[in-house]
Amino acid sequence: MPYKIVVLDGIYANPGDLSWEALETYGNLTVYNRTSPEQVMDRAMDADILIVNKVELRKPLLDNFPHLKMIVISATGMNNVDLEAAKALGVVVKNVVGYGAQSVAQHTFALILELTNRVSAHNDSVQKGEWDADKGFSYNTSPVTGLDGKTLGIYGFGSIGQEVASIGRAFGMRIMVVSNHAVPADYPFYEFVNLRELFEQSDLISLHAPLRDDNKHVVNSALLSHMKPDARLINTARGPLVHEEDLKSWLIAHPMAGAALDVLETEPPGPQYILFGLPNCIITPHMAWTAKSARKKLMDEVTLLVKTFVS
């Protein structure tokens, strides 16, 4: 009897420019773009294999899926699935890692360059007609910061952190790293330091560590107090790494500093989000991983995981 494969929130990996049809080789496939918490029970009840991105699967739900044999998380983070409950029920849980390293690194530098070159602000100025004769052939609405010779601090040195370091070095930046697993001798061009040293010495700090129990709100007022008054913080990792109220206070107190965030503690943030309206804070909608090439890799890996399981 063929497996019943159900994708519960497929729109994130495939908003319409790719296809899930490769999974049809391995079972009867049903794809839902989005599934609300109230819809999960009905849609997942008879599934043998569930594919989820951010849909939460906790023990009370898992206990009611008698046919479930496998969960594939079409993402790297696994905190939306009760792993202990799944293991107790004999349900295999797999995730996908490494698919978005280049895409996230690219977006990281898009944010860095927006902070340093203010391309959007200069375009807005020109479009408003502010490039007039009094300004001559060239003008700035805000200073441009060159990256050559600046120090880029990287917190977390997996595949994404390494890609960011490589790009930073190509810009002529000094690279400092905080890592729990890297062997410094393997990376002679980078300096390995502790977290306080990273925040004290870096001109730009980019977060690439996974979220763990011991590093939630690791970027807080105590750590921010060690940053240079014109330093910039970039977060394309996980929103809860940053204590957002502390960051807001720091940004207000340091108008020459800046932050660029692709991830927030609550997503979506709602209309009264604490960091809205700050002129030195840029926010994008958790999109760093969404390059089509990255999503294609993600979907190919999901298919491979299913193929390996059913074969």
Q: Which of 24, 130, 245, 267 is catalytic?
A: 267
Query: Looking at the structure, do residues 211 and 263 belong to the same domain, yes or no?
Result: yes
Query: Looking at the structure, do residues 164 and 112 belong to the same domain, yes or no?
Result: yes
Omega before 268 cis (within 30°)? Answer: yes
pLDDT of residue 256: 95
The phi and psi torsions of 243 (rounded to 5 degrees) equal: -80, 105
pLDDT of residue 289: 96
Q: Which residue has the tokens 């202990």?
A: 84
Structural domain boundaries enclosing 59: 4-97+292-310
Query: Looking at the structure, do residues 106 and 199 belong to the same domain, yes or no?
Result: yes
Nearest to 233 by CA among 200, 261, 270, 259: 259
pLDDT of residue 134: 86
pLDDT tens, residue order, the chain (311 aa): 799 999 999 999 999 999 999 999 999 999 999 999 999 999 999 999 999 999 999 999 999 999 999 999 999 989 899 999 999 999 999 999 999 999 999 999 999 999 999 999 999 999 999 998 788 999 999 999 999 999 999 999 999 999 999 999 999 999 999 999 999 999 999 999 999 999 999 999 999 999 998 999 999 999 999 999 999 999 999 999 999 999 999 999 999 999 999 999 999 999 999 999 999 999 999 999 999 999 999 999 999 999 999 99
Q: How far apart are CA 290 and CA 107, in angstroms?
A: 10
The per-residue b/e assignment along 19-39, b for 16 or more CB within 10 angstroms, e otherwise, is: ebebbeebbebebbeebeeee
Query: Looking at the structure, do residues 120 and 188 belong to the same domain, yes or no?
Result: yes
Inter-CA distances, 144 with 97, 112, 117, 181, 280, Å: 36, 12, 5, 35, 14
The phi and psi torsions of 191 (rounded to 5 degrees) equal: -105, 130
Query: Looking at the structure, do residues 135 and 193 belong to the same domain, yes or no?
Result: yes
Q: How far apart are CA 114 and CA 259, in angstroms?
A: 10
CATH of the domain at 164: 3.40.50.720
Query: Looking at the structure, do residues 173 and 195 belong to the same domain, yes or no?
Result: yes
Alpha helix segments (H runs only) across the chain: 37-44, 59-62, 83-88, 101-117, 119-127, 159-170, 195-201, 221-224, 244-253, 292-310
pLDDT of residue 161: 97
Q: Which of 238, 244, 295, 301 is catalytic?
A: 238
Query: Looking at the structure, do residues 27 and 134 belong to the same domain, yes or no?
Result: no
Tokens of 191: 């300096």
Q: How far apart are CA 13 and CA 162, in angstroms?
A: 24
Q: How far apart are CA 231 and CA 237, in angstroms?
A: 19
267 is catalytic: yes
Nearest to 156 by CA among 206, 229, 228: 206
Q: Which residues contact 68 (CB under 8 A, 6 or more apart)?
A: 44, 47, 48, 49, 50, 62, 89, 91
286 is catalytic: yes
Query: Looking at the structure, do residues 131 and 279 belong to the same domain, yes or no?
Result: yes
196 is catalytic: no
Query: Looking at the structure, do residues 142 and 235 belong to the same domain, yes or no?
Result: yes
Query: Looking at the structure, do residues 160 and 252 belong to the same domain, yes or no?
Result: yes
Q: Which residues contact 125 (CB under 8 A, 6 or more apart)?
A: 131, 141
Query: Looking at the structure, do residues 9 and 119 belong to the same domain, yes or no?
Result: no
Nearest to 152 by CA among 181, 103, 113: 113
Q: How far apart are CA 271 and CA 268, in angstroms?
A: 9
Tally of domains in the chain: 2
Query: Looking at the structure, do residues 34 and 138 belong to the same domain, yes or no?
Result: no
Q: How far apart are CA 297 and CA 304, in angstroms?
A: 10
